[in-house]
Amino acid sequence: MTRSTRDFPFGPAVGLDLDPMFLRLQQTEPVSRIRLPYGGVGWLVTRYADAKLVMTDARFSRAAAVGPDTPRLSPAPGGAASMVLMDPPEHTRVRRLVSKAFTPKRVHEITPRVRQMADELLADMLRKGPPADLVEDYALPLPVMVICELLGVPFGDQNQFREWSTVVMSTTAYTPAEVDAAITAFSEYLWDRIDERREHPGDDLLSALVCARDEGKSLSEAELVTIAGTLLVAGHQNTVNQIANFTYLLLADPELLSRIRQEPDILPTAIEELLRFVALGHGVSFARVATVDVELSGVVIAAGDAVLVSPQAANLDPAQFDDPGQLRLDRPDNQHMAFGAGMHHCLGAPLARMELRVAFERLLDTLPGLRMAVPPQEVQWKTGLLARGPIALPVAW
């Protein structure tokens, strides 16, 4: 059988809808060939069972996906020092060092502080009065404040690293030269913060990582700066967008918002369902490379081939979820893939879940009359970046 190779992305990613091609392929060609903007051709996996196998099976390697020839959306190839591009035992070693900051116990300990941050931001919004931009005034600063405090980076530097983070997350919004320049500037900034922690260690994750490098010899210099950068970017970018995305969906559907207000205990379950339902990015994960021939849905993936999973399509697979296209705030046993699966399951998932829960608890309690200040169709969306979200979300109360 001759398989056509489709250019990916299938179309512009605007708003929150997943391109319908994903679900058509899920039904008719669940393992298909796609050509990405950088690195060439790979396999796209869209069914839940196949996606879970690729994410959890050691026959699919992240480390083998290092380098410029791996299919990807962004101009800059990942480096071997990145934890997301490691296999065991290197991945196990690095993850063990970082994971202590994101355990459920540690997340529980910092929850009151996150609630205090949220209340302070909302108090500022109330003082200024409506209308407000929920992105700039709340969704963005809250996760930035949290990760800065955890990592030990000055919140006053946020404008600098926010700009670099956005450029690094580029697919088409910035040129490869601009991405390279941002990576260089960001790395220099991180080295300065690392040097400060060497001179004046504190009770923060960056100090712990510096200690692991200098005393325990558990990290290389390249791993140290790469992990610091990854934590700073990943520690706020996705949560920023999801706070704004979820708020948009709830404000655009008064029945959903009313349900959460009337049944506040449903909020944790509702957040899991929103995580399943909302397509945060373009629809594909980092590539993995098959180390041996593997069969998926009747298709043989040859050793050496790159495979890209679509967690968003898997989250809409009717073989796994009843009525997957419906947003059901009380959906039971919601085993979605918003945070991935297997050994590379998102390290910051407990922190992200807590931030989302606190963000909405405080937002809905403080602003019972919250509403959009513009019609939903007038909200403008980010384009050309790895993650999707509104540029601004005008609200009133």
Query: pLDDT per residue over 222-237, tens digit each?
Result: 888 888 888 888 878 8
Give the pTM.
0.92
Q: What are 148-190's pLDDT values in tens digits?
A: 988 888 888 888 888 888 888 888 888 889 988 998 999 999 9
Contact between 42 and 36 under an 8 Å Cβ cutoff? The reply is: yes
Q: What is the mean pLDDT of residues 127-140?
A: 96
Q: Give ∠ CA 76-167-37 in degrees, rounded to 5.
A: 40
DSSP output for 325-368 = TS--TT-SS----TT--GGGS-TTHHHHHHHHHHHHHHHHHH-T
Query: Is 384 a member of any domain?
Result: yes
Cis peptide leading into 9, omega within 30 of 0?
Answer: yes
Query: Is 9 a member of any domain?
Result: no
Report how far residue 109's alpha carbon sits from residue 153's, in angstroms, rounded to the nearest whole number.
Answer: 19
Q: What percent of the chain has pLDDT over 70?
A: 99
Q: What are 72-113's pLDDT values in tens digits?
A: 988 877 776 688 888 999 999 888 888 877 888 889 999 999
Number of domains in the chain: 1
Query: Is 298 a member of any domain?
Result: no
Query: Is 165 a member of any domain?
Result: yes
Query: Is 62 a member of any domain?
Result: no
Query: The domain spanning residue 204 has which CATH number?
Result: 1.10.630.10
Q: What is the pLDDT of residue 2?
A: 54
Residue 241, Cβ neighbours under 10 Å: how many?
24
Report how far residue 261's alpha carbon sits from residue 211's, in angstroms, rounded to the nearest whole number.
Answer: 46
Rounded (to 5) percent helix, strand, coil in the chain? 50, 10, 35
Cis peptide leading into 131, omega within 30 of 0?
Answer: yes
- Domain limits at 96? 74-278+310-396
Query: Is 234 a member of any domain?
Result: yes
Q: What are 16-31's pLDDT values in tens digits?
A: 989 999 999 999 999 9
Report how far residue 82's alpha carbon sits from residue 35's, in angstroms, rounded to the nearest whole number.
Answer: 24
Q: 91 to each of 80, 124, 148, how far by Cα in Å?
A: 11, 42, 24
Query: Is 128 a member of any domain?
Result: yes
